Structure 1
Amino acid sequence: MTTTLYIVRHGQTEWNVAHRMQGHQDSPLTPLGVEQAVRLGEALRNERIDAFYASPSSRACRTAELIRGIRAADVVTAEALKEIGLGIWEGLAQSEVEARFPEQFGRFWNDPEAFGVSGSETFADVAARAVRQVNRILDEHRGRSILIVTHTVVVKLVMAYFEGRAMKDIWQPPYIHPSCLSKIVIGEGRSDIVLHGDMSHFADESRLLGTD
């Protein structure tokens, strides 16, 4: 008996385009973000998906709803799937964060285990809550197929868990584009990563990659 887990990053948002730090704050999908999610939904139209989960952030919920399409399953939200809380960085332009907090900005990208600013979570905090939630979902849906829509840091940390990748290396490729797809097939005593940050559902249309 195998369980199939799909993990998706939400579609492009207005703050992605503006290069603002989102974290627990939110901004809506852009028209391109909607198109990205719809395109992925079309690619998965004939795949069996028994359950849909998402971060409660509207950008993730909306992406999940668009991928779900006409399937009868509800989108279940889970707080543990939210993006890393970025505290005082949230809502700031990335360029402003880099200028005002150069040491912590460097740690975020190059030494994530040492990252922390006022009001933020640590990467270890996020890994613990997200992996615990994913394992809970897998236990509840053994032998079925599940799709989770979440955020960049959560995707990176959950995939690192399945890969056995050290936290210091989580920003190594693949890049996690909006609406990219990862797929893990889980059987007795093993997990096989079939896709990781896959973008083939965009059929080489570079415009659909959008802006991070």
Structure 2
Amino acid sequence: MPTRIYLVRHGATELTAEDRFAGSTDVPLSDEGRHQAAALAERLKCDRLDGIYASPMGRTIETARIVGASHDCQVQVEPDLREIAYGRWEGRTRDEIEREFAEEYGAWEEDPLTTAPAGGESGIQVLSRALPVMRRIVQSHRHQSVLVVSHKGTNRLLISSLLGFDARGYRDRLDQSPAALNILEFANDVRARLRLFNDISHYDPLPGRCAEQRLSRWWSQPIQGDDGA
């Protein structure tokens, strides 16, 4: 049996609904986020979980506790699974940042892997702390199944790196909805395959924003040479 990682993004918060950057801002789940997590708990209640890990933020710990309530595991906090720190962008909406820090935001949109907001983190910095945690979890739970609850950016960076994708495009090409389920299986400590990605079928009937609004602006830009015909 391969090692199975249930990699989950935390449920929705009020800042999620407002499209605000909240990497290092500790905000609780909204009522909608709790419903999303409860729906995922119902989905996974018959699956075996041999361990539960979460970033230290309130929204991830609460999600992990809700999802793992029917399993005999304590939530173990891993500080290095936390979200990207957005520095002076924290708490601001995307539109505000585009207006006030246009040059900085443009550079970050172009290459979020090596570029960071003032006072914040780049994607490389996130990977340098989060990847060793993931490897340690896999090593500690060989041939077992583990729930890992983290964040939108951190999850996308981890998946890109583990699968050998160009992580510079993680914001353009990968999405993570609130309380989304990803399943990764490891043949050994480093060889991973993706079995499920960004699945929200456990709460799909609930209202939500369209995927395009959660991706970077690059996704909605017109294709060069497209005249709209």
Contact preservation (8 Å) 1:4, 1:146:
yes
Task: Look up the SS of the partner of 1:170 in the other structure.
Answer: helix
Q: TM-score, normalised by structure 1?
A: 0.93
Counterpart in the other structure of 1:199: 200
- For 2:121 and 2:199, the matched residues in 1 are separated by 28
- For 2:172 and 2:199, the matched residues in 1 are separated by 15
Deviations 1:87-122 (Å, cap 9, x if unpaired)? 111122222111111122233333213422221111
- For 2:198 and 2:141, the matched residues in 1 are separated by 23
Counterpart in the other structure of 2:21: 21
One-letter amino acid of the structure 2 residue matched with residue 162 of structure 1: L
Counterpart in the other structure of 2:140: 140
Task: Look up the SS of the partner of 2:128 in the other structure.
Answer: helix
Over the aligned positions, Cα root-mean-square deviation in angstroms equals: 1.8
Counterpart in the other structure of 1:123: 123
One-letter amino acid of the structure 1 residue matched with residue 196 of structure 2: L
Count of matched residue pairs: 211
CA separation of 1:175/1:206 partners in 2, compared to 1, >3 Å: closer, same or farther? Answer: farther
CA separation of 1:179/1:123 partners in 2, compared to 1, >3 Å: closer, same or farther? Answer: same
- For 1:122 and 1:173, the matched residues in 2 are separated by 18
Structure 1's unaligned 5+ residue stretches are none
Higher relative contact order (CA 8 A, sep 6+): 1
CA separation of 1:72/1:150 partners in 2, compared to 1, >3 Å: closer, same or farther? Answer: same
Shift of 1:2: 1.4
Task: Answer yes or no: is 1:45 the counterpart of 2:48.
Answer: no
Shift of 1:173: 3.4
Task: Look up the SS of the partner of 2:62 in the other structure.
Answer: helix
Counterpart in the other structure of 2:158: 158
Larger Rg: 2
Matches within 5 A, 1:1-212: 1-188=1-188, 190-202=191-203, 204-207=204-207
Structure 2's unaligned 5+ residue stretches are 215-229
- For 1:72 and 1:206, the matched residues in 2 are separated by 29
Deviations 1:49-103 (Å, cap 9, x if unpaired)? 1100000000000011110022220000111000011111112222211111112
